[in-house]
Each structure stands twice: as structure tokens, then as C-alpha cells.
A and B are shown apart, each in its own frame.
Chain A
């Protein structure tokens, strides 16, 4: 397992994309910062890490999609299976590296927020100033990053599932981004129209993706019709379900 983790880490750090990602993330957050410079919701943008966590999700869909499908595309899965034999260990090592990379990107989004806030607003909005939930701006930012990290696991599970089902990384990326973002829109539309009359619809997996939005803006309850606690339970449940389904598909996928 240690050897597999080391191999996965080796592959990750040798991908050019891994080194460009922080630059892309910083530039995207900076662009959002510029656009929000004169917004009355400046504090909301700061606690939302200048939408950095949203960019992290897109990056994670790409990373998840390529991590498994590339092994089939390049035929390297044969070598992994021959060397280690256990698909459980292969899947676990990949999942562990993905989660670590996800945590690293969330940490980067948090870290980048500090200089971008200073660049956009100078000392205008103090991190110690009171904001939502009776907490400081800094606490809100930290909690937002943590909640988003928890929420990203359900997306990782879904992206891994699509990656195991797709024949190539490109298909997995495209279908991952499409399914997750269109699904979120469809879920929102359904809940707005029939969410109150059919309560079960509130528990659809796409609604769970709104957990970070509801955390940063409690009025979002009107859209999700679930409390933040219910969304957390749903996120954990769907994460486990998707990850298990992804593993079963990975195990059965013919080499």
C-alpha cells in the first residue's frame, strides 16, 4: 500500500497540470476579486474564497476523471494489477491521493484569499470583524473551506464513478462536468416547482452540492429545502454510496 501511494504521488507530481493548477486557481480567484471589488457583498466574496473553492471542484473533476480512466487508456492498469494484485488497494491508494490533493487545493484557495483580499480591499474588511453565525470573517472563511472540502467528497465520488464507467479520460471529464453542473440546475428547478409537495425530491444527490452555498448564505434554505445539518448527512451518505459504487465498477471493469 505504501508503495502504491508513493507511485500515485510520483505520477501526480510528474503531471504538468499539477504544477499549473495553483497558478490557474490564483488567476481565477484574482479575476473574481477584481469583479467583486466594488460589490456590496465584499465580505461574502472573502468568506467564499473569491469562488476559489468552486474552481477547486472543477479541477477535482478533471483530476478524478483522469486518475482512473488514464490507467485503462494507457494500459497501465495491467501493470498495477500484476504488481499488487488487489484492486481494493489500487482504488484506495488513488482515492487517498485524490483526497490529499483536494485538501491541498482547498488550503491553497484559503491561502490565496489572504493576499487577494489585501490587494482588492487593503485593510478595509478586518478578518477579526464579526460576520455570519456570530463568528469572525476569518472563522467564516475557514469554515467555508472546511464545509466545501466535505461537500467536494460527494463530487469526487461521482467523478470517480463516471471515470470508471467511461472509456477515456476526455469522456469522463466532459460527462463529469456536464452531469454535475446540469444536474444541480435541474435539481434546483424541480425543487422550486414541486419540492414542497414531494419531500423526497429534496434528498436528490444534486441538491447536496448546495451545502457550501447554504453555509455561506443561510437564506439558501429556500432553494434546498433542507437544513445545513440535513445537507451534511446527505453529503456523507451520497459520498459513501458513490465511492462504493465507483469501487464496484472499478473492480468489475475488464482489463
Chain B
């Protein structure tokens, strides 16, 4: 897949403090890439370097302009907090940033569900309304790449869902997203790729599919006799761990599911509940970060 953005060996220092250390990653066209990591690891800094707000000390940021749509701007952004003037109304704000393209403004107001308050001064907006205005500004003029720093900040669950659906729809139509968020459960629902930063380094850059494949994948069984169940499965080469309420069976390191159920049924063990559990993004991130911490 063609990359819209390539970040190559980028480093940045502020005084004696190294914020980014030889960062490299790619953002494929039409993908939604999640940029994650603990506070202060340089997520906003790399976004600012991509946007040209900061110059990097070394390395390069390259955009692929070969497929830029006519009339589209290259990048839309929401960095840290929405860039809005409190003395303007939401509509005036959008008119200012759209270079007075009222059609574009009307469409984005409808898409973002801002009709009820867009003509009120921004000074009277709630945090969520300001955030939506910031996202609307980022999406104006159909950018090829949209960079969103903590876009879910201050949004209610419905707005969160609407934003997620909008990002997914735009990505389907070819818009590329680089999104940072601490709400990993929300981020996980939309991103295709993840770039994990820690102490100024990329410690993980992978597709979500691959990440899920690598993560733990297991069944949680509640039976009439968990103790007997665990012993039987262990004797038949299943990877088993018994908890107080259930038996956990790893699916990646065990024989087939048919064998598992056959053994339990043959020994007249009643199955009360079965849950299929998978490692989520949060677990994966924490595992990688703990591993990194151990290596330092």
C-alpha cells in the first residue's frame, strides 16, 4: 500500500532533553493510524514536526503528493486544543478557515451535527462543542491527511460514536488519519495500525490484525468441577490456568476446540459458561511498555 506520509529517522531535542530519538514510521493511504504512548513521550512533538510547526534536528518527514485530490489541502489538524477565536461564532470560525467557502462550511456543520449552536459565539461553547468545532476545522477543505491529537477529549459517548463513524467513513473514501488518544478502548475500534512511543522511541509499529494475532487468545470456562476440568485438560496437553471462578485455556498454544469439548463431555463435566477472551490494545500496550521498562 502506498504511503501518504513517511517519517524517517526524526530526532528532536529541547535543550538537553531528547524528546524524539530516531523516530521512523509510515502512514499508508486511507489508513487510520493510532499514535499512542504515555504522557510526555513526544506524541504532540512528532505531530508538530509533521505539521511544520517545529523543525526536526535530524531526519525527514516526506509527504506523497502524487494522489492529492484537486482543491484539497494536504493536512488538516487538531493539535492539543481547538484553535478557535472566542469572539467569533462557530460558523465565522469555519468561514475564516475555509477561506470563505460557505458550501464546505454548510456540509461540515451538518456532518458534525453543529447546526444548533454554530451561530452562537464560541465563548459560550462547552468543552465538547469546542472540540467538535476543532475537528470540523481539521476536516474543512477535504484534507488528504488529518492529524488529530486527543480528539475524544470532552466528547460525550454519542459524539464519540459519531466521530468514530465519521472517521471510518472518511477513511473508506481515501482520507488518511493519524490519531493520538489515551482512550485506547475507543481508539481500538477504528485504527488499522498502531505506533507506540516510549521515551522518544518507536517501541511498536504494527497493524492491529497482527497485534491481535500476537496477543493472548483464550477461553474462560465455568464448569461443574473446575478443578477436575483443569486436571483433565492439562493431562491432554492443553495450556491451562485455573482461577477462583473459572479455567482459562489458551487457544494459541492448545489442541483443537473439538478435542477440548469432547474431553469434557466424555467425563460428564457440565459446562455452565464459555467466554472467548482476547488481548485488547490496552493489554498489548501495557505488556510492551512493561517489557521496555524491564529492558532499561
Contact = CB atoms under 8 A, between A and B. Distances in A.
The 9 closest A-B pairs by CB, nearest first: A79-B83, A76-B83, A75-B83, A82-B51, A75-B81, A15-B87, A81-B53, A255-B53, A14-B88
Contacts of B96: 7, 10-11
B15 to A, nearest CB: 11
A78 B83 contact: yes
A3 B97 CA distance: 10
Which secondary structure dominates chain A's binding surface? helix
A155 B71 CA distance: 42
Contact of A74 (B48, B83, B95): B83
Contact of B77 (A15, A16, A70, A82): A82
Contacts of A3: 99
13 contacts: A7-B96, A10-B96, A11-B85, A70-B85, A74-B83, A76-B84, A78-B48, A78-B79, A78-B80, A79-B97, A81-B53, A255-B48, A255-B53
Contacts of A255: 48, 53-54
Contacts of A16: 87
A150 B54 CA distance: 37
Contacts of B80: 75, 78
Interface of A: 3, 7, 10-11, 14-16, 70, 74-79, 81-82, 85, 255
Interface residues of B, number: 23
Contacts of A75: 79-83
Contacts of A79: 77, 83, 97, 137
B144 interface: no
Nearest to B134: A75
B92 interface: yes
Interface centre among A7, A15, A79 (most CB of B within 10 A): A79
Given A3-B99, A11-B96, A255-B48, A78 B53 contact: yes
Contacts of A14: 85, 87-88, 92
Given A75-B80, A75-B81, A81 B52 contact: yes
B75 interface: yes
Interface in B78-129: 79-88, 92, 95-97, 99
A77 B79 CA distance: 11
B52 A82 contact: yes
Contacts of A70: 85
A82 B88 CA distance: 20
A24 to B, nearest CB: 17
Interface centre among B53, B54, B84, B86 (most CB of A within 10 A): B53
A70 B80 CA distance: 16
B85 A76 contact: yes
A145 to B, nearest CB: 29
A129 to B, nearest CB: 45
A15 B86 CA distance: 10
Contacts of B79: 75, 78
